[in-house]
Amino acid sequence: MHLSFTDSPNSTLGIEWEIALVDANSLELVNDAPAVIAALNAAIPESCDGKVSAELLQNTVELVTSPHRTVTAAVSELREMAWILKQIAEERGYKLISSGTHPFSSWADQKVSDSDRYQNFAKDYGWWGRQMLIWGIHNHIGVADKKFAVPVMNALSRVQPHLIALSASSPFWEGINTGYASNRTMLFQQLPSAGVPPLQATWDEFEKTIEQMQQVGLITELNEARWDVRPAPGWGTVEARACDGTGSLRRIAAVTALTQIVADGVTRGTHTCHEPDPEWLTRFNKWQAARYGTDATLGVIDSKGRKSLTDSLQQIIESHAVSIETLGCAEAADDILRLATEDSCANRQQAAYTAELDNSGDKDKALFKATEILVDEFDANFV
């Protein structure tokens, strides 16, 4: 199999942001995205190159930036689109959230989008497919030569735990307090084509893997390989898909900067590209981040065996100093470390839930308070 790769300038970036509609009073999810998307497409000015698209469920609006050189420019474009979306939503009596999961709305109440792609997805994956009531942030990083695509994928696989921890926002599922910082991570990997990418070293190996996946019927097209990190040949990028949705543009900037500098270190040749970690270690570290967020301790193959996630982040930032300076993302890179020591969205939801439960003993009120955290986080971008 030969997969055509559309070369992109190294380290350019694009961001995909999945946002959910909720009723302003009940905070239940609302299946009105088709109408909202139509209104948003009509309202976005021609000067904005970003795009709007539907997603699996009719409660979701996805904002997609055009390619950018800097994190600042990409986030600015997202902010412009999100502000217009917010006004349209509020005119209809809705609020906006972005998180890994919704604290209490049920997957069974959500409508699948009308496209054949999404209808087939729901049919093929059945009960698990219908349970994908989740949202994420996806980052595309440009790669000028396909020979770098797999090394970049391997490098980004190593920072999956850091991306998961920084964006963790999904401790609740169907009204259940799961105890996980990112329950979305655990849900999504149930699909047979999702999760940690298989170990590969070269572009030829990647092509062979995709060919074999198609031969056995696991996928019918490349986009159905829903790994946490994957090459996207049609765009000339490598796509990082591990992050929970987050309503905070500040956090989006931080995880995007982390993705960009790690990829840039490989293509620029300023950061040694080691052999990828064994799959068992990648899976373990991914689970650590999903369970404990920024309190995770990661497995490392050395004499100590474990390292705190924050210490690991510090090492990554220090070792990518050239990329940080060259790409002009020093502010966002500094924020990576600050956010690692602040309460995550998952922690703030947990705290609001626990405080209300202790006060009133009413679980429904406690879940509502947790959901208010998500609404407030999104609205804070525009204060």
> 269 burial class (0-12, 13-18, 19+ CB within 10 angstroms)?
exposed
At position 156, the amino acid (one-letter code) is L
Give the tens place of pLDDT for each residue, 90-126. 999 999 999 999 999 999 999 999 999 999 999 999 9
pLDDT band at 304 (very low <50, low <70, confident <90, very high): confident
Domains, in order of start, for the chain: 13-382 (3.30.590.20)
- Mean pLDDT of the 356-375 span: 98
Query: b or e along 325-344 (b: 16 or more beta carbons within 10 Å of the residue's beta carbon)?
Result: eebebeebbebbeebbeeeb
In this predicted structure, the answer to whether residue 272 has a pLDDT above a threshold of 80 is no
In this predicted structure, the answer to whether residue 303 has a pLDDT above a threshold of 90 is no
pLDDT band at 274 (very low <50, low <70, confident <90, very high): low
pLDDT of residue 2: 86
Average pLDDT, the chain: 95
Structure tokens at 6: 């559309």
3-state secondary structure of 350: helix
pLDDT of residue 7: 83
**What secondary structure letter does DSSP report for 102?**
-
pLDDT band at 353 (very low <50, low <70, confident <90, very high): very high
Residues 6+ apart with CB under 8 A from 116: none
Give the tens place of pLDDT for each residue, 43-78. 999 999 999 999 999 999 999 999 999 999 999 999
pLDDT of residue 273: 59
pLDDT of residue 302: 78
> 170 burial class (0-12, 13-18, 19+ CB within 10 angstroms)?
buried
- Of 119, 162, 190, 174, the residue nearest 292 (C-alpha): 162
pLDDT of residue 271: 73
In this predicted structure, the answer to whether residue 252 has a pLDDT above a threshold of 80 is yes
Share of the chain above pLDDT 70, in %: 99
**What secondary structure letter does DSSP report for 197?**
P
Give the tens place of pLDDT for each residue, 211-241. 999 999 999 999 999 999 999 999 999 999 9
- Mean pLDDT of the 352-376 span: 98
> 103 and 85 in contact (C-beta within 8 Å)?
no
Give the tens place of pLDDT for each residue, 155-190. 999 999 999 999 999 999 999 999 999 999 999 999
**CA distance readout (Å), 8 to 64, 288, 346:** 17, 34, 35
